[in-house]
Amino acid sequence: MKKVVISTGGGDAPGLNAVIYAVVHACYRRGWEVYGSRSGYRGFLDYDDMVQLTPKIVEGIYATGGTILGSTNKGSPFNMPVENLAGEIKYVDVSDKILKNFKRMGFDCHIAIGGDGSLHLAQQFAEKGMPVIGVPKTIDNDLEATDRTFGFDTAVSTATEALDKLHSTAKSHDRVMVVEVMGRDSGWIALYSGISGGADVILLPEIPFDMEKVCDKISDNELHEKHYSIVVVAEGAVERGGKVFNKGSGELGREEAILGGVGDYVADEIRKRTGKDTRSLVLGHLQRGGSPTTFDRLLALRFGTAAVRMVEAGIFNHMVALAASQMSSVPIKEAIRSRKKVNLESDKVLTARNVGICLGD
Ligand code: F6P
């Protein structure tokens, strides 16, 4: 009999609930108990936020977006902002308390579902002696040690659907539509949705862009009697010699910057330089919402059950991964070493170039 605890950390992604569902069912088949820590590590600090999970509680959740446990990308337990009686903010390390409570509650393993930030925390706890298994989540698909993270396929489908819809309005008005998509410093969402959604221009963080080249493509469309254009811009895309559009952190305990603004910039430049009517929109959190696609559901269910098989086999401090279509595992330490970028020699990039999409270079 084992006792397992799950947490979901960082930005949510479609498929989180499917992982929870899979872990709960796989544990129950083995006669084990499963608990969920609400809002990342909060359940380890306050017992009211630690909930027992049963097949009844997780009924049907594999098909739903978000996370029934809640999530946060603020307040690392190693540097948590706490307000004292005088209203001052002090940063405290509550990791020892979390480890003590983990032991006191009798857990054998913590299954931490998260992206880069949450897996860094999982590694820090592993180093303190907590047996941890990571499950790779992020719509950005930027984790190096797995071929795919769940959430990405759904985000790409949402972005592609949006591009499909924008074609008709762009065409009706002979306009340029600039669409900013998520992805942080990686261009996976922009590249996959841009190719599938018939973009004329895709700007990726991996290729610093030249506004002249972008405008040349729009003028070329005009020459070929295509009077509208669709431009997809990754939020982390950077102009040659320029900087990432960064809105700062702005939220207490949040370490990562909030990106955004490059879409508006690109739209303004296109308007000024080509004289074309241009509109921009930010797809934003729509990409994180909704029901997971079949691909993401299945991947999440596979990850969740593989994680429980790892607990059974005593393989800790590893992250479950997808490698050549199979479930495998890698040490968390290796999984967080670097972020996965778009390979500029890959056939997807070649596909984009071969169908005439401008990549800003
Ligand atoms: O990492 C996932 C992600 O959606 C990024 O693509 C995006 O930059 C960020 O999270 C947005 O974070 P928040 O939900 O805190 O605004």
Cα–Cα distance measured from residue 356 to residue 226, given in angstroms and rounded to the nearest whole number = 13
Ligand 1 site, residue 259, Cβ cutoff 6 A: yes
Ligand 1 site, residue 110, Cβ cutoff 6 A: no
Cα–Cα distance measured from residue 220 to residue 295, given in angstroms and rounded to the nearest whole number = 37
Q: Dump strand ranges (E) for 9-152.
A: 33-37, 50-53, 80-83, 89-92, 109-114, 132-136
Q: What mean pLDDT, rounded, does the chain reach?
A: 97
For 162-205, write each residue's pLDDT tens digit: 999 999 999 999 999 999 999 999 999 999 999 999 999 999 99
For 250-290, write each residue's pLDDT tens digit: 788 888 889 999 999 999 999 999 999 999 999 999 999 99
200 catalytic residue (yes or no):
no
- Dihedral sign for Cα 12, 14, 19, 24, please: positive
Q: Please state the pTM of the whole predicted model.
A: 0.97
285 Cα–ligand 1 center, Å: 8
For 200-219, write each residue's pLDDT tens digit: 999 999 999 999 999 999 99
Contact partners, residue 79, CB within 8 Å, separation at least 6: 91, 92, 93, 253
Ligand 1 site, residue 140, Cβ cutoff 6 A: yes
- 3-state SS string over 50-91? EEEECCCCCCCHHHCCCCCCCCCCCCCCCCEEEECCCCCEEE
- For residue 244, CA distances in Å to 70, 235, 265, 294 come to 30, 8, 11, 34
At 211, the amino acid letter reads M
Cα–Cα distance measured from residue 12 to residue 236, given in angstroms and rounded to the nearest whole number = 19
Distance in angstroms between the alpha carbons of the first and the last residue of the chain: 58
Parallel, antiparallel or unpaired: strands 201-203 and 229-234: parallel
For a pocket test of ligand 1, which of 184, 245, 251 has the largest count of ligand atoms closer than 8 A to its C-beta?
184
For 282-338, write each residue's pLDDT tens digit: 999 999 999 999 999 999 999 999 999 999 999 999 999 999 999 999 999 999 999
199 Cα–ligand 1 center, Å: 23
